[in-house]
Amino acid sequence: MPEVEWKDSARTDLLEIIDYISDDNPEAAQKLKDEIEAKTAKLSSHPKICRQGRLAGTREMVVHKNYIVVYTESISRVFILRVLHVARSWPGS
């Protein structure tokens, strides 16, 4: 079973999202963080379950109605590349 590994860019995305939300609602921010981490952890057992990404070789998981996780996979790892708001232009931002 592949191990899930967060790239620095994805960790930065997640922390910026949580920081922004926590300004108004710290509980909602923590809940969203927990939800995203729980859903991405499941990718180790089912890495191909999500749709093909807009960039070749990637996949996209809808982790919340407003957020997607972009990832890629190998035999031994699932690499979380980005956590993006759905309104954000991707790829290219």
Both tokens assigned to 48: 């191909």
Task: Tell me the whole-structure pTM to 2 decimals.
Answer: 0.91
Each residue of 11-63: pLDDT tens digit? 999 999 999 999 999 999 999 999 999 999 999 999 999 999 999 999 999 99
By CB atoms closer than 10 A (0-12, 13-18, 19+), residue 83 is: buried
Of 3.40.50.970, 3.30.2310.20, 3.40.1280.10, 2.40.10.480, the CATH number of 3-85 is: 3.30.2310.20
List the chain domain ranges.
Answer: 3-85
